[in-house]
Amino acid sequence: MSPLRIDPIAEARRHWTERWGEEPARPMAAVTSIMRAQQVLMARLNELLRPLGLTFPRYEALMLLSFTRAGALPLGKIGERLQVHRTSITKTIDGLEHSGLVRRVPHESDRRAVLAEILPAGRTVAESATEALNEAGFATEPLSAAELSSVGSVLRTLRLGAGYFPG
């Protein structure tokens, strides 16, 4: 990708300020920045994970499972933790199951709930993927440690206030 010659968000902000004032221009620019940063990061991360047959959302679900004691979680709980709708989680787990990295198992006591359980192949792939992502600094170049901490801390307020989609 070639670097951008102009900054489209600065352009949008100029239009906004002219027509609607500084007040709504600020959140517009911040939201648009988050959208663009997410797209850039997602494309880079998926590129890093492609050789392992993973996407970033699938990687995230695998890691979540790998950190639990039983290596398994109800699908609803995965959705809560990753703050995504049930339909997205279903799709993610479908993909992982299709690749032989997790399997669905019935819940011991709640007959309506289904668990996703990480398989040994899932742990192996998650390990290799983590090595690749750690090595690449999670594709955050050229951000500094201070910049990463600052973004994380501001967005924490937004994330925690927003809560989760009930599974």
Distance, CA of 58 to CA of 39 (rounded, Å): 16
- Of residues 136 through 155, those in contact with a second copy by CB under 8 A are 137-143, 145, 147-152, 154-155
In this structure, are residues 66 and 109 in contact, taking their beta carbons and an 8 Å threshold? no
Q: How many residues bind a second copy (CB under 8 A)?
A: 73
Helix axes 22-49, 8-20, angle to 10 degrees: 160
Site string (44-83) toward a second copy, x via CB under 8 A: xx----------x---x--xx--x------------xxxx
Instruction: Please state the closest distance from residue 110 (CB atom) to a second copy, in A.
Output: 19
Place of tokens 């100029």: 14
- Of residues 79 through 118, those in contact with a second copy by CB under 8 A are 80-85
Instruction: Return all residues near 82 (Cβ < 8 A) that are at least 6 apart.
Output: 57, 60, 61, 64, 89
Site string (4-43) toward a second copy, x via CB under 8 A: x--xxx-xx--x----x---x-xxxxxxxxxxxxxxxxxx
- Is the Cβ of residue 3 or residue 109 nearer to a second copy in the bound state? 3
Instruction: Please state the closest distance from residue 138 (CB atom) to a second copy, in A.
Output: 4
Instruction: Return all residues near 151 (Cβ < 8 A) that are at least 6 apart.
Output: 143
